[in-house]
Structure 1
Amino acid sequence: MKSAHLLQAQREGRKGSEGPPRTHKVHFLFLLLSGASEIALRPGSGITLVIQPRTPALPGKPCYILTSKRRDTTLAIRSGERAAFTFSCQNPESHFVMEIQKSVDCVSGPCPFGEVQLEPSTSVLPALNRTFVWDVKAHKSIGLELHFSRPRLRQIGPGEACPDGVTHSISGRINTAEVKIGTFCSNGTVSRIKMQEGVKVALHLPWFHPRNFSGFSIANHTAIKRLCIVECVFEGEGTATLMSANYPEGFPEDELMTWQFLVPPHMRSSVSFLSFNVSNCEKKEERVEYYIPGSTTNPEVFKLEDQQPGNMAGTFNLSLQGCDQDAQSPGILRLRFQVLVQHPQTESNKTYVVDLSNEQTMSLTIEPRPVKHGRKFVPGCFVCLESRTCSANVTLTPGSKHRISFLCDNLTRLWMNAEKTLSCLDPRYCQRKSYRLQVPSDILQLPVQLHDFSWKLLVPKDRLSLALVPAQKLQQHTHERACSTSFSYLLASAVPGQDLYFGSFCPGGAIEHIQVKQNVSVTLRTFSPGFQKDASRQVLNVSFIPFFKEESIFTVTPDAKSKVYLRTPNWDRGLPSLSSVSWNISVPSNQVACLTLVKERMGVVCQTGRAFMIIQEQQTRAKEIFSLEEVLPEPRVRRRSFWVNVSNCSPASGKQLDLLFWVALTPRTMDLTTVISAAVVGGAFLLLALGLIICFVKRKKKKNKGLAVGVYNGNANTQMPRLPKFQKERKDNDSHVYAVIDDTMVYGHLLQDASGSFLQPEVDTYRPFQGLMGDCPPPTPAVCSRTPTSKLASDYPPPPMPSESEGEPYTFSQPTKEAVGSGHADIPLLDTQGPTELVE
C-alpha cells in the first residue's frame, strides 16, 4: 500500500510537468496492481461489507477510497461481489471504519447452528476498525442460545471500555423493537445468553487486533417465555456486576429477565443492589424473585428497596419482573447489581443478638470500613439478618431485637456507628437529673470494632444548659500534647446551623467537667480494638443545669506533674463571632500556677466590637482585661484559683481568633522580701510587748509605794547598788520579784467613752475564707468597649498582705470596772501619745 502511495505521488509530480495522463484506466490498473486490497464475497452468504467515514471525522486533509472507476468516501460490497480498492492517505484507520453485516433467517429456513466464523477472514481485510454483526431472525416460539467459550464475558456499563478494545454488544428483539441486553468484555463469568424471537451480536475489533475468531456459537433452545436468560459461571471466589436490559434506559414494560448463577455447592453467594430505579406501575408490581434449589420457600420475593439475600449456598436464580406502566408517566425501571461468591467464613454460622427493644432513639449501623482495594479479588464483608438477608450496610432500628451473623473473611474490614438522642421536654422534670453516657454491652459483645457512638443531647432553648462530668479527668487533644488512648470524646454543637466544634478530649488530663450552653453532640470515637479492654473507663455523666450565656465553661484542676494545654473551640477555623468561653482553673494552696499564652495562633482583626481576654482571681475578684487585637499578656504566676475568659468580636473576612495556652503548677516558695518583711514586723511586735510589760511593772510599783498591799519580802535589797553589777547571781537575789501587779490596766480610763462606759475591745484573729469561690465566670465587658490593653479593676479593694504571724491570734481582754488603786498615777510608764502606724 505504501508503494501505491509513492506511485500516486510520483504520478501527481509528473502531472505538473508532463501534463495529464492519457487514460484513467491505465493509471488505476497500475495503482491496484502495486498495493490494492481485494475483497470477494461468495454468493448466497448474506454478507454486506461497508467502509464508511468514522465519526467524528478527523480534521485536516480528507482521505478517499480509490477504486478503478472513481474515488469516494463510502464503499459497499454485497454478497456475490468483488472489489479492489486502496486509500489516498497513509493512515486510513484514522478516517474509515468497516462493518461486516450478516443476516441469518431462521424463519423461512434452517438456522446455521454451531461455531460462528468470521467471514471474510481478517487476514484479507484492510487494517481498519471493524465490526462483525450477526442479525439472526427467528420465530417467536423459538429460543436461541449464544454460548461463549473461554474467555467468558464480563458486562460493562456506559462509559466503560475494555482493556484490549474487543467488545461484544448483544441485543434481543420484542416484535419489531430491538432491546439491548448489554455490552461485554472478555475475562468474565457470562457463559450463555438465551433469547427468544431473534438475536443480534456485534463483535468490535480494533484495527491492530489480530483476532480471527468470533468466540461464540449459536444453538437451538426451547422457548424461554421471557426476554432473556443470562448464565454466569463461578468456579471459585469472584464478583460479577450485571445490569438490566436497556440499561441505563428503562427496562421493557411488563417483561421478565433472569440471571442464572452456577456456583459450587461449598461456596456462598451474596447479592447487593448497587443502584436501581422503579417505574410508575398501573398493574402488577415490580419485584425481584430468587429461586434457590432445595429451599422450601421458592420463589423468595423481594422489593428492589429491600435488603437482598446473602450467604446462599450453591446455585441460584435471580429474576427481574416489570409491570404495566402508566402511559402518561411511565417512569424508568433499571437495576445494577453485584454478586459476590466466596468461601464460607467462620462467623457465618454464629448468631449474635442485639436487643434494642427497650430503646426508642438509638440506632446501630454496621458498614464497611473505607479502604482502597487493588485489582486483586477481595472477598466481600456482609452482615446477615436472620442468616439470609445480607447486605454490606445494615442499620438496626430501635424497638426490636435483632439476630445477626457475619459473612466476612476479615471482620476488621467492618466497623459500627451508633447514635442515640437524649432530650429534655419538661425542664421541671429533668433539671438536675443525671444520665450516664455509656456504650451498651450488647454492642460491645459484637466481633466488630465500634467506630463512633454519638449521643445527641437536646435542651429547651434559653432555659437549660448541660454539664458533662467524666469518670476520669480529661485531656484536650492538641498538637503539643496529643491523645494516645484507645478512645476520645468529640464535642460539637448540635444546634441547627451552628458550626461549632469544642474539641477532642481523652482520659488522663486535668479537665474535671465541661458545661455547654445549648444542644451538643458527644461522640465517643475509638482508635483501636483495644477499646474493648478500656470500655470500663468509658463513663460520662450528663446533667441538665440552669441556663448560662457562654458557649462553654471548662473546669480545670491541673496536675503538678505536667502542663495542661488548652485551646479555644473551632481550632483552625476560629472562635465563632460574638461568642464567649471560660476556663475555671483551680490552684492548690501549696502551689502556684504559671499561665502562658501562645501568640503564634493569633490572627484576629475585628470588624465590629472588640476581642477580649479577662483573667480574674476568684478570691479577691481582681480583674485583668486584655485586648486580643493588640498584645497578649506575658507569662505570670497566679497564686490563687482564677478564671480565664475569652470573648470574640465580629472578625474581618479571612481573620480568626485561635488561642492556645498552657498552665503549669510549681510548689509555693517564700521570696526574700516576704521573709525580711516578716522579720521586721515580728521584731517590732516583740519590742512593743517588752516595752508594755516594763511600763506596767514600774507604774504599779509607784502606785503601791505607801500602801502595804500584797506580800512583804524582808530580804529584798533596798539600798542602791554601789557596784556596777550585783553581788549575787539573779537566782540568789530578789531583783526579779515584784510587789503587786494589779489586774486592772493602769490606763483603763482611756478605754472609757464620754459617758464613762467601757468600750468593747476589737478582737484581731485570723479566720479562713468561707465565701464563694467563683461559681460564675467574670462578666464580659460590653462589645463596643474601648478598654485599654491591661487594666486592674477590682470590685472590692484587695486586702493588705498578711504578716507571716497572722496564724497566731492576739486578743485584748475586756477591762474590769473595779476602781484603780490610788497612787502616783501622775508618772506614766509609757508616753500618752497615740500608737505609730507600721507601713510596709
Structure 2
Amino acid sequence: MGGRSRGWAAGPLPLPLLLAGLLQLGAAAQVGRWTEVEISLPPGDNITVFVKRGTLTWPTNLCNIIFQRRRLPSLIIKRGEKAVFTFECSDPEKHYVLEVQKNIDCMSGPCPFGEVQLLPSRLPALNRTFIWNVKASPKVGLELQFSSPRLQQIRPGETCPDLVTYSISSSVEKTAVNIGTFCSNGTVSRIKMQGGVKLALYLPWNENRNFSGFNITNRSSIRRLCIIESVFEGEGSATLMSANYPDGFPEDELMSWQFVIPPHLRASVSFLNYTLSNCEKKEERVEYFIPGSLTNPEVFQLGDKQPGNMAGNFNLSLQGCDQDFQNPGALRLLFQVLVQYPQSEGNKVYTVNLSNERAMSLSIEPRPLKTSRRFVPACLICEGPTRCSSNLTLTSGNKYEISFLCDDLTRLWIIAEKSISCTDIGYCSRKSYQLLVPSDIIQLPVELRDYTWKLFVPKDKISLQMSPAQKLQQHTHDKNCETTFSYMLSSAVQGQNLYFGSFCPGGSIEKIQVKTNISVVLRTFSPGFFNESFRQGMNVTFIPSFKDEGIFTVTPDSKAKVYLRTPNWDRGLPPLTSVSWNISVPHDQVAHLTFSKERMGVSCETGRAFMIIQEQKAKAEEIVSRDDEPLPKPRDLHHNFWVNISNCSPMQGKQLDLQFCVSLTPRKMDMMVIILAAVGGGSTLLFALGLLICYAKKSKNKKDSKEPAVGIYNGNINTQIPGKAGKFQKGRKENDSHVYAVIDDTMVYGHLLNGSNGSSTSPEVDVYRPFQGPMGDRPPSPPPICSRISTKKLHPEDPRPFLLSESDGEPYTFSHPKTVALKGNEDNGIPLLEKKEPEEVME
C-alpha cells in the first residue's frame, strides 16, 4: 500500500524526460546495429586478422570491443575461425585499426601466382593494412607487377595524397631491407626481388577499394638485390632512391633500375643527394647501359655529372663495396630522371670558343621563374652528347660543344665575367682593350643577363678612359633608356661605394674617364639584344692619373636635351668626392644649362660642397656655388665649358645629388651686328694697309740707322735726361727708342710698378683669382680638402676663430710674388713707365 502510494505520489514522467529516454534507447540500438561486424576466415587460407587499438592516444575507456558479451581491448581471428563483435562507440575508426596478414610459402609448394585478392571481404570501416609475407629460396626471383595505376616512390616522412600506400621490403640473409614506399599514379610498373618479399598495403578507413593492384609472378634469378622498372609514356619525372634510404645501402650489394623511354623523347639523370661509405675492397660506382653507346657499361662515380639527353631505354645500376667494419659509413643515393622533348629536331649543337680569352668565366644557369604547372620539364645544358646538367660553367682557354635539352629556353640566362689588369704602366699605356661580348656567346639561343668586365690599375699611378662605340645616354627619371641593353658603371675598389650610373647607346656622352678600378656591367633587358649587339663595344685605354673620381666628356645633340646627374643618385655622392663634365658647344650654337633644383640640398658636417661652372676660354669667369648658396639660374654658354661638383663630408640623411640639363639652340646674330661687322671689316682692311706702309717706312729707317727692332726693349739706349746734344740729336718725340709694338695689360709689367715707399706693390694674398691656364684638358679644381671650413656650430661663449670675409674666405689660388727693386733716378717730368729702365726683367 505504501509502495503504491509512493509511486502514485511521483506521478507520470514529464514529456521532455520521456522523449529523452526514448532517444537514448534508439541511439543505443543504432550504435549496436552500426558497429556489429562478422569476420569469417576459411581454413585453407593462411590468414590472420588483428583488430587492435590504433596509435592515437585516445582514452582507452571510451571504446572497447564487445565479443561474446565481454569487453576486450583487441581481438585476433585465425584461419578457420568466425567472429561476430561490436564496438561500444559510434566512431571506432578513431580508436581501432585492422591488420590482415597472409603468409605465402613458395619453398614447400607452388606459389599462388597471379592477381592478389583482398581477403577477407566486408571488413569494418577501419584503417586497414594488408600484409603479404612471401617466402622463397634465395636463388628464386619474384616479380611484383603493378598494372594501373603504376607506383610513385616517395621519400621517408612523406605521405600519399589519397593515403593509399605501398611499402615493399626484401630480405638479405634474414635481414629485412626496405626497398621503398610508394603511392599511386607514378611510373614504377614492376619490382623484381631475389628471395623473400614482404608487401604491405595501407588503406584509410573511408577507402572502399576491393583490389590489391598487383600480381606476383615467378622469375629466374636476378643475381642482385632488386630491379625496379620505370615506364614513361610522355614527358614527366620520377624520383627514386637506393634501398634502405636514408639508411645505408646493404654492404656489397647491387641494385638496378630499368627505364622505358619513348624514342621521340630524351631522358636525363641528376643526383639530388648521395653519400659514400668507407670501402675496404672494391669501389662504389654507378653503371649505365645506354643505347647506341660503344663503351657499355659506362661507369661513373657518384660525384660525376650523370648522363643526359639519352634517347631510348637505358639501365642504371648502383654497386656497393666491402665496408670498413669499425667505421662502415653509409652509401645512399637519391636521384631524379627527367623525360622531355628535345629543344629541336636533331638537337642543334653550338660551338663556344674561349681558347683566345683570358681570365674569363661564363655560366649558363636557370633564371628565377615561378610556375604553376604540375610537371615542369627541366632546362638542361649538355656538354657533349650525354653530359647534361641544370648549370654549366665555361672557362677561358677552352673550346666547347654544347646543346640544350629544354622546352623553353627563356628559363635560362647567361652570366659572364672577365678581368683586365694593368701591372706594367709602360706596357698598358701603349695598349687598348675592347669591352666586347664575343660573337660565340651572342649566337647562343639563351638570353645574356650580365657580362661584367673588372678593370684594375695601380692606385694613383694610372687611370682609365672608356670610349664607347656609340655615344651614351645616362639613364635618368626625365629620360629613360629604351634600348635592349645598358652599361652599369661602379667602382671596383674594395670599400668604396660609388655607382656612376646606368648608360645606354643613343646619347651624347662620348668618353668616360675614371680615376681607379671600375666594374663595367653590360646588362640586357630583352631577347632583342641579338639584333642590337652591333651597338655594343667600348674601347679602354690607360691615361695618366687625375684627381677627380670621374670625368665625362659630353657632346650634346642639337635636336635633344641632355640630362646628366651625379653618381650614387639614390644614396648621394660619397664624401669628399669630385666629378666633372666636359661639355662641348659648337661654334654656331648656344648651350642652355639648367639645374633641376634651386639648391644642392646637402648639409655638410665638415668642409664645403662646391659647384663650379667655367667656360673654356681665356680669362673665363668661374661661376661658383657653395652648399649654403643657391645654384645658378638657367644660363646660356657660348663656349665649351666645365661643370665640376665636389662634395663635403655630409651629415647623415642630407646627401648631395644633382641633376642638370643641357640643350643647344642656334646662335642668333641681328642685322646691326652684321652691318657693324661689315663696316668694321672694311675699316680693318684700310687700317691694315696703313700699318703695312708705316711698317715699311720704319723698316727702311731702321736699316739706315741700325736701331733695334720695334717691340724689343733696347737696353743700350742712354737714359740720361735729354738736353745734351752729344747724346740726343733729336727730341724725345722724334726718337723711336721708347716705341713698343704691343702693351697689352699693365699686368705684363706689373712688377715694375713702384709704391710710394719705393717698394714693389704685391697682389693681395688669399684672394680668389680665376683660372687662367690652358682649358679643356683638366676641369677646374675645387679648394683643397684641408682648406674647407668646418660647418660645425660653435658655442656662444667659445672664442670665434679668425675668418676671412665671405668673399675671400674660400681661396682658390694663393699668390706670393717676390719684391723687385728698381734702379735709377726719379724724374717727375717723365711718365711712370719711362723712368729709368731696370737692368733685369724678372718673370
Contact between 1:268 and 1:342, CA under 8 Å: does it hold in 2?
yes
What is the match of residue 688 of structure 2?
none
What is the match of residue 555 of structure 1?
553
Instruction: Provide closer, same or farther for how the CA distance between residues 791 and 416 of structure 1 changes in structure 2, counting only shifts above 3 A.
Output: farther
Instruction: Provide closer, same or farther for how the CA distance between residues 98 and 605 of structure 1 changes in structure 2, counting only shifts above 3 A.
Output: farther
Answering whether residue 76 of structure 2 is matched by residue 53 of structure 1, we say: no
What does 1:600-615 correspond to in 2, within 5 Å? 609=606, 612-615=609-612
What is the match of residue 840 of structure 2?
none
Code of the residue aligned with 2:163 in structure 1: it is G
Code of the residue aligned with 1:760 in structure 2: it is Y
Q: Which SS does the other structure have where 1:572 is aligned?
A: coil
Candidates 281, 284, 290, aligned match of 2:288: 290
What does 1:704-743 correspond to in 2, within 5 Å? none
What is the match of residue 3 of structure 1?
none
Answering whether residue 740 of structure 2 is matched by residue 760 of structure 1, we say: yes
What does 1:390-405 correspond to in 2, within 5 Å? 390-405=388-403
In the alignment, the residues of structure 2 paired with residue 526 and residue 485 of structure 1 have an alpha-carbon distance, to the nearest angstrom, of: 9
In the alignment, the residues of structure 2 paired with residue 199 and residue 639 of structure 1 have an alpha-carbon distance, to the nearest angstrom, of: 96
1:526, CA displacement in angstroms?
2.6
Q: Deviations over 1:566-601 (max 9, x none)?
A: 33444435545655544334444531232323589x
Code of the residue aligned with 1:530 in structure 2: it is G
What is the match of residue 190 of structure 1?
188
Q: Which SS does the other structure have where 2:365 is aligned?
A: strand
In the alignment, the residues of structure 2 paired with residue 274 and residue 111 of structure 1 have an alpha-carbon distance, to the nearest angstrom, of: 39
In the alignment, the residues of structure 2 paired with residue 245 and residue 632 of structure 1 have an alpha-carbon distance, to the nearest angstrom, of: 77
What does 1:531-542 correspond to in 2, within 5 Å? 531-542=529-540
What does 1:19-418 correspond to in 2, within 5 Å? 32=32, 35-43=35-43, 45-55=46-56, 57=57, 63-68=62-67, 76-80=76-80, 82-87=82-87, 89-121=89-121, 123-126=122-125, 128-158=126-156, 160-326=158-324, 330-346=328-344, 348-375=346-373, 377=375, 379-418=377-416
In the alignment, the residues of structure 2 paired with residue 34 and residue 439 of structure 1 have an alpha-carbon distance, to the nearest angstrom, of: 78
Instruction: Provide closer, same or farther for how the CA distance between residues 503 and 207 of structure 1 changes in structure 2, counting only shifts above 3 A.
Output: farther
1:349, CA displacement in angstroms?
4.8
Contact between 1:626 and 1:633, CA under 8 Å: does it hold in 2?
no
Instruction: Provide closer, same or farther for how the CA distance between residues 280 and 469 of structure 1 changes in structure 2, counting only shifts above 3 A.
Output: farther
Code of the residue aligned with 2:740 in structure 1: it is Q
Code of the residue aligned with 1:523 in structure 2: it is V
1:151, CA displacement in angstroms?
0.9
In the alignment, the residues of structure 2 paired with residue 498 and residue 186 of structure 1 have an alpha-carbon distance, to the nearest angstrom, of: 58
Code of the residue aligned with 2:36 in structure 1: it is A
Code of the residue aligned with 2:612 in structure 1: it is I
1:191, CA displacement in angstroms?
0.3
Contact between 2:31 and 2:88, CA under 8 Å: does it hold in 1?
no
Name the count of aligned residue pairs.
700
Contact between 2:413 and 2:447, CA under 8 Å: does it hold in 1?
yes
What is the match of residue 596 of structure 1?
595
What is the match of residue 645 of structure 1?
645
Q: Which SS does the other structure have where 1:124 is aligned?
A: coil
What is the match of residue 470 of structure 2?
472
Q: Deviations over 1:523-543 (max 9, x none)?
A: 222333432332222111112
Instruction: Provide closer, same or farther for how the CA distance between residues 565 and 86 of structure 1 changes in structure 2, counting only shifts above 3 A.
Output: farther
1:472, CA displacement in angstroms?
0.9
Percent of paired sites with the same residue: 57
Q: Deviations over 1:338-373 (max 9, x none)?
A: 323334553535433322222332233333444333
1:438, CA displacement in angstroms?
1.2
Q: Which SS does the other structure have where 2:346 is aligned?
A: helix
What is the match of residue 775 of structure 1?
778
Q: Which SS does the other structure have where 1:348 is aligned?
A: coil
Contact between 1:432 and 1:545, CA under 8 Å: does it hold in 2?
no
1:435, CA displacement in angstroms?
0.4
1:469, CA displacement in angstroms?
1.3
Q: Which SS does the other structure have where 1:482 is aligned?
A: coil
In the alignment, the residues of structure 2 paired with residue 133 and residue 633 of structure 1 have an alpha-carbon distance, to the nearest angstrom, of: 91
Q: Which SS does the other structure have where 1:252 is aligned?
A: coil
Instruction: Provide closer, same or farther for how the CA distance between residues 53 and 532 of structure 1 changes in structure 2, counting only shifts above 3 A.
Output: same
Give the structure-1-normalised TM-score.
0.73
What is the match of residue 427 of structure 2?
429
Instruction: Provide closer, same or farther for how the CA distance between residues 757 and 313 of structure 1 changes in structure 2, counting only shifts above 3 A.
Output: closer
Q: Deviations over 1:271-297 (max 9, x none)?
A: 233343444444333322110244321
In the alignment, the residues of structure 2 paired with residue 437 and residue 473 of structure 1 have an alpha-carbon distance, to the nearest angstrom, of: 15
Answering whether residue 765 of structure 2 is matched by residue 785 of structure 1, we say: no
Answering whether residue 635 of structure 2 is matched by residue 617 of structure 1, we say: no
Please list every run of 5 or more consecutive structure 1 residues that lacks an aligned counterpart in the other structure.
1-12, 22-26, 687-747, 798-840
In the alignment, the residues of structure 2 paired with residue 550 and residue 281 of structure 1 have an alpha-carbon distance, to the nearest angstrom, of: 64
Instruction: Provide closer, same or farther for how the CA distance between residues 563 and 149 of structure 1 changes in structure 2, counting only shifts above 3 A.
Output: same
Contact between 2:591 and 2:662, CA under 8 Å: does it hold in 1?
no
1:327, CA displacement in angstroms?
5.0
Instruction: Provide closer, same or farther for how the CA distance between residues 428 and 294 of structure 1 changes in structure 2, counting only shifts above 3 A.
Output: closer
Contact between 1:307 and 1:390, CA under 8 Å: does it hold in 2?
yes
1:482, CA displacement in angstroms?
1.9
Comparing 464-473 with 412-421, greater Cα deviation is found at 412-421
In the alignment, the residues of structure 2 paired with residue 484 and residue 62 of structure 1 have an alpha-carbon distance, to the nearest angstrom, of: 77
What is the match of residue 743 of structure 1?
none
What is the match of residue 822 of structure 1?
none
Contact between 2:130 and 2:201, CA under 8 Å: does it hold in 1?
yes
Code of the residue aligned with 2:123 in structure 1: it is V
1:459, CA displacement in angstroms?
2.4
Instruction: Provide closer, same or farther for how the CA distance between residues 100 and 666 of structure 1 changes in structure 2, counting only shifts above 3 A.
Output: farther
In the alignment, the residues of structure 2 paired with residue 584 and residue 61 of structure 1 have an alpha-carbon distance, to the nearest angstrom, of: 90
Q: Which SS does the other structure have where 2:244 is aligned?
A: coil
Q: Which SS does the other structure have where 2:306 is aligned?
A: coil
Code of the residue aligned with 2:204 in structure 1: it is P
1:638, CA displacement in angstroms?
5.0
Q: Which SS does the other structure have where 1:346 is aligned?
A: coil
1:167, CA displacement in angstroms?
2.3
Comparing 476-485 with 458-467, greater Cα deviation is found at 458-467
Instruction: Provide closer, same or farther for how the CA distance between residues 564 and 320 of structure 1 changes in structure 2, counting only shifts above 3 A.
Output: farther
Comparing 388-397 with 217-226, greater Cα deviation is found at 388-397
Instruction: Provide closer, same or farther for how the CA distance between residues 794 and 562 of structure 1 changes in structure 2, counting only shifts above 3 A.
Output: farther
What does 1:512-591 correspond to in 2, within 5 Å? 512-548=510-546, 550-576=548-574, 579-589=577-587, 590-591=589-590
In the alignment, the residues of structure 2 paired with residue 413 and residue 584 of structure 1 have an alpha-carbon distance, to the nearest angstrom, of: 43
Give the structure-2-normalised TM-score.
0.72
Q: Deviations over 1:245-273 (max 9, x none)?
A: 33344433333221101123343322233
Contact between 1:67 and 1:84, CA under 8 Å: does it hold in 2?
no
Q: Which SS does the other structure have where 2:369 is aligned?
A: coil
Q: Which SS does the other structure have where 1:371 is aligned?
A: coil
Q: Deviations over 1:424-480 (max 9, x none)?
A: 232332135210111223333334443332222222344333222101111122333
In the alignment, the residues of structure 2 paired with residue 208 and residue 285 of structure 1 have an alpha-carbon distance, to the nearest angstrom, of: 49
What does 1:656-675 correspond to in 2, within 5 Å? 658-668=657-667
In the alignment, the residues of structure 2 paired with residue 578 and residue 333 of structure 1 have an alpha-carbon distance, to the nearest angstrom, of: 60
In the alignment, the residues of structure 2 paired with residue 560 and residue 604 of structure 1 have an alpha-carbon distance, to the nearest angstrom, of: 32
Comparing 216-225 with 654-663, greater Cα deviation is found at 654-663
1:213, CA displacement in angstroms?
1.5
1:507, CA displacement in angstroms?
0.2
Pairwise CA RMSD? 4.3
What is the match of residue 808 of structure 1?
none
In the alignment, the residues of structure 1 paired with residue 140 and residue 391 of structure 2 have an alpha-carbon distance, to the nearest angstrom, of: 43
1:321, CA displacement in angstroms?
2.1
Q: Which SS does the other structure have where 2:785 is aligned?
A: coil
Code of the residue aligned with 2:100 in structure 1: it is I
In the alignment, the residues of structure 2 paired with residue 330 and residue 568 of structure 1 have an alpha-carbon distance, to the nearest angstrom, of: 64
Candidates 456, 459, 466, aligned match of 1:458: 456
Q: Deviations over 1:120-153 (max 9, x none)?
A: 33x4222x33333333343322222111011111
In the alignment, the residues of structure 2 paired with residue 611 and residue 249 of structure 1 have an alpha-carbon distance, to the nearest angstrom, of: 69
Q: Deviations over 1:192-214 (max 9, x none)?
A: 11122323323222222222221
Contact between 1:64 and 1:71, CA under 8 Å: does it hold in 2?
no
1:548, CA displacement in angstroms?
4.1
Contact between 1:623 and 1:794, CA under 8 Å: does it hold in 2?
no
Comparing 299-308 with 615-624, greater Cα deviation is found at 615-624
